[in-house]
């Protein structure tokens, strides 16, 4: 397998000039933008924009100031740009609060909700999926530019470049897949299947302020201070996850994509340009509780079922924070999140632990809990991580 090249450049904050300078350096380290994306071509820019509207300060969406600077570089090459994601929103324009509508209007760049034009079925040579519905915006683009945000995830441990492509399929299908492909490993396999149907030509990750803890929406913003770029999305995820303290090959999407030859997930096979990883590591970056599940790889298989039962995260409603918006009820693929007229509650017998409710709740009114032994496992694995021991 040939080496991938990843550029890492420091950026202090979302100041336009700093981002512009950093992006130029990222791209020159990779060999310049026009050598990767042809001038005057048709490019789809896939942002990470979750459905419940949120402010960029919450670190849930790819920051619009970052995206704006990327778009300016594309416009210099006379590129025909469309920016978008597939979002569900009760608001008339789900892109308003994040600032995306404003920046795209200012630059005269089309911003689309992928559901606007429906989805087309295509063949998929995946491990699980043989057909998949993807947006024609993706299908018709000559190049896909992937702009993920560095965030943790309470189901897959990391939301990055590979997982960002989950947004190119319809919302309803995403819910179905949550229901059908339970478990981190099989869910990640499905994510890689979708990624394999539309592998991006260039990935530039907004790792200026990431999200730690229970991402992709219920964690806390954490300054990482970097832009990470590559033509290899899997390598971007590998480098980003290493910087925030994961063993990249513990991230199922990275491992699975690497093993399928869709990119490079092993750090030793990646050529790093710009900053050294060792100089930019964020040692106190909080992982999701789900990361404690990596402990399973170090113990005999007959114990896996027991350990998993202790580690599984279960959602719980925090009544005094719940606004009864019922977003969680609407998104739950198993009807386990329920509204009885006075309150929202979780039917534990039905819950499949997909974390969709947690992802969609913008009021941090859903907490994720583990059994007592699970919390102990988590404490042990965190201690090992801090000591840079066998889990890293
Ligand atoms: S838990 Fe969150 S998403 Fe569910 S109803 Fe309450 S505020 Fe809304
Ligand atoms: S309650 Fe939440 S975690 Fe459980 S199945 Fe419904 S959406 Fe998924």
Strands 220-230, 202-212: pairing kind: antiparallel
Together in a domain, 299 and 209: no
pLDDT at residue 387 tops 70: no
Q: Which pTM was predicted?
A: 0.91
Q: Which residues, other chains included, contact 302 with Cβ-Cβ below 8 Å and sequence gap of 6+?
A: none
Together in a domain, 48 and 138: yes
Question: Which pLDDT value is given to residue 390?
Answer: 43
**Tokens for 100?**
């995306």
Together in a domain, 109 and 255: yes
326 lines ligand 1 (CB under 6 A): yes
Question: Which pLDDT value is given to residue 392?
Answer: 42
CA 391, CA 304: separation in Å to the nearest integer? 17
- What atom in ligand 1 is closest to the CA of residue 317? 1
Planar angle of CA 164, 382, 376, nearest 5 degrees: 115
- What atom in ligand 2 is closest to the CA of residue 335? 6
Cis peptide before 216 (omega within 30 of 0): yes
The mean per-residue pLDDT over the stretch 198-222 comes to 95
pLDDT at residue 216 tops 50: yes
Neighbours of 349 (CB within 10 A): 7
Number of folded domains that form the chain:
2
pLDDT at residue 358 tops 50: yes
pLDDT at residue 301 tops 80: no
Q: Which tens digit of pLDDT belongs to each residue from 38-58?
A: 999 999 999 999 888 899 999
CA 375, CA 381: separation in Å to the nearest integer? 10
Q: Which tens digit of pLDDT belongs to each residue from 314-338?
A: 999 999 999 999 999 999 999 999 9
pLDDT at residue 239 tops 50: yes
Of the pLDDT bands very low, low, confident and very high (cuts 50, 70, 90), residue 391 is very low
Name residue 131's beta-bridge partners: 123
Together in a domain, 82 and 215: yes
Together in a domain, 18 and 107: yes
Quick check: is 110 in a domain?
A: yes
Which ligand is nearest the CA of 326, by number?
1
Q: Which tens digit of pLDDT belongs to each residue from 173-188?
A: 999 999 999 888 899 9
Together in a domain, 296 and 276: no
Task: Print burial letters for 106-129: b (CB count within 10 Å at least 16), e (below 16).
Answer: ebebebbbbeeeebeeeebebebb
Of the pLDDT bands very low, low, confident and very high (cuts 50, 70, 90), residue 288 is confident
Quick check: is 392 in a domain?
A: no
Quick check: is 391 in a domain?
A: no
Contacts 24+ apart (CB under 8 A), 180-184: 181/128, 182/352, 182/353, 182/354, 184/155, 184/156, 184/157, 184/252, 184/290, 184/293
Query: Which of 259, 280, 301 corresponds to the end of one domain?
Result: 280
Q: Which residues, other chains included, contact 88 with Cβ-Cβ below 8 Å and sequence gap of 6+?
A: 51, 94, 171
Rounded to a whole number of angstroms, the CA Rg of the chain reads 20
Quick check: is 318 in a domain?
A: yes
How far is the centre of ligand 2, averaged over its atoms, from the C-alpha of 339 (Å)? 13
- Least-confidence region, from 133-137, 286-290, 300-304: 300-304
Quick check: is 100 in a domain?
A: yes
Which ligand is nearest the CA of 368, by number?
2
Which of 226, 233, 239, 279 lies closest to 22, judged by CA?
226
CA 11, CA 23: separation in Å to the nearest integer? 9
Task: Print burial letters for 32-65: b (CB count within 10 Å at least 16), e (below 16).
Answer: ebeebbeeebebbbbbbbbbbbbebebbbbbbbb
pLDDT at residue 220 tops 50: yes
Together in a domain, 275 and 293: no
CA 155, CA 287: separation in Å to the nearest integer? 11
How far is the centre of ligand 2, averaged over its atoms, from the C-alpha of 371 (Å)? 17
Together in a domain, 98 and 163: yes
Together in a domain, 103 and 250: yes
Question: Which pLDDT value is given to residue 154?
Answer: 87
How far is the centre of ligand 1, averaged over its atoms, from the C-alpha of 54 (Å)? 15
Provide, rounded to the nearest whole percent, the portion of the chain with pLDDT above 70.
96
- What atom in ligand 1 is closest to the CA of residue 324? 5
Quick check: is 261 in a domain?
A: yes
Q: Which tens digit of pLDDT belongs to each residue from 150-165?
A: 999 988 999 999 999 9
Query: Which of 246, 280, 314 corresponds to the end of one domain?
Result: 280
How far is the centre of ligand 2, averaged over its atoms, from the C-alpha of 208 (Å)? 31
pLDDT at residue 372 tops 90: no
- Least-confidence region, from 82-96, 145-159, 225-239, 264-278: 82-96
Quick check: is 193 in a domain?
A: yes
Give yes or no for a contact between 75 and 36, defined as CB atoms under 8 angstroms apart.
no
The protein residue with its alpha carbon nearest to ligand 2, atom 6, reads 332
Together in a domain, 38 and 141: yes
**Best of 325, 362, 367 for a ligand 1 pocket test (most atoms within 8 Å of beta carbon):** 325
pLDDT at residue 2 tops 90: no
Together in a domain, 104 and 151: yes
Query: Which of 261, 280, 299 corresponds to the end of one domain?
Result: 280
CA 96, CA 90: separation in Å to the nearest integer? 12
Give yes or no for a contact between 269 and 258, defined as CB atoms under 8 angstroms apart.
no
Of the pLDDT bands very low, low, confident and very high (cuts 50, 70, 90), residue 389 is very low
Range of the domain at 217: 4-280
pLDDT at residue 91 tops 80: no
Q: Which tens digit of pLDDT belongs to each residue from 98-121?
A: 999 999 999 999 999 999 999 999
Together in a domain, 302 and 270: no
Q: CATH code at 334?
A: 3.30.70.20
Quick check: is 217 in a domain?
A: yes
Question: Which pLDDT value is given to residue 381?
Answer: 72
324 lines ligand 1 (CB under 6 A): yes
Q: CATH code at 93?
A: 3.40.50.11440
Q: Phi first, then psi: give them for residue 231, nearest 5 degrees.
A: -80, -10
């Amino acid at each position: 397998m040939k080496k991938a090249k990843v550029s890492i450049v420091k950026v202090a904050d979302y100041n336009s000039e700093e981002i512009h300078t950093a992006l130029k350096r990222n791209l020159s380290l990779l060999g310049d933008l026009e050598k990767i994306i042809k001038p005057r071509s048709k490019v789809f820019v896939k942002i990470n924009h979750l459905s419940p509207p949120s402010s960029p300060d919450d670190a849930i969406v790819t920051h619009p100031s970052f995206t704006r600077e990327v778009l300016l570089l594309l416009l210099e090459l006379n590129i025909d740009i469309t920016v978008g994601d597939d979002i569900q929103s009760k608001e008339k324009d789900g892109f308003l609060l994040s600032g995306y509508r404003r920046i795209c209007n200012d630059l005269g760049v089309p911003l689309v909700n992928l559901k606007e034009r429906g989805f087309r079925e295509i063949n998929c040579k995946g491990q699980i999926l043989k057909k998949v519905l993807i947006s024609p915006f993706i299908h018709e683009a000559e190049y896909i530019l992937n702009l993920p945000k560095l965030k943790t995830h309470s189901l897959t441990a990391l939301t990055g470049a590979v997982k960002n492509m989950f947004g190119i399929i319809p919302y309803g299908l995403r819910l179905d897949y949550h229901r059908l492909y339970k478990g981190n490993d099989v869910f990640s396999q499905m994510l890689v299947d979708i990624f394999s149907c539309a592998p991006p030509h260039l990935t530039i990750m907004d790792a200026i302020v990431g999200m730690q803890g229970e991402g992709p929406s219920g964690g806390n913003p954490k300054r990482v201070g970097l832009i990470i770029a590559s033509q290899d999305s899997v390598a971007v995820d590998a480098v980003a996850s290493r910087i925030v303290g994961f063993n990249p090959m513990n991230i199922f999407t990275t491992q699975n994509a690497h093993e399928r030859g869709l990119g490079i997930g092993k750090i030793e096979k990646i050529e790093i340009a710009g900053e050294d990883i060792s100089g930019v590591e964020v040692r106190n970056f909080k992982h999701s509780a789900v990361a404690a599940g990596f402990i399973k790889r170090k113990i005999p298989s007959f114990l896996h079922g027991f350990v998993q039962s202790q580690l599984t995260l279960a959602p719980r409603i925090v009544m005094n924070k719940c606004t009864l918006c019922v977003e969680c009820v609407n998104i739950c693929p198993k009807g386990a999140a329920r509204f009885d007229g006075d309150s929202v509650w979780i039917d534990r017998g039905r819950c499949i632990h997909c974390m969709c409710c947690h992802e969609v709740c913008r009021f941090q009114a859903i907490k994720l809990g583990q059994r007592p032994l699970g919390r102990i496992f988590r404490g042990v694995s965190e201690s090992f991580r801090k000591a840079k021991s066998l889990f890293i």
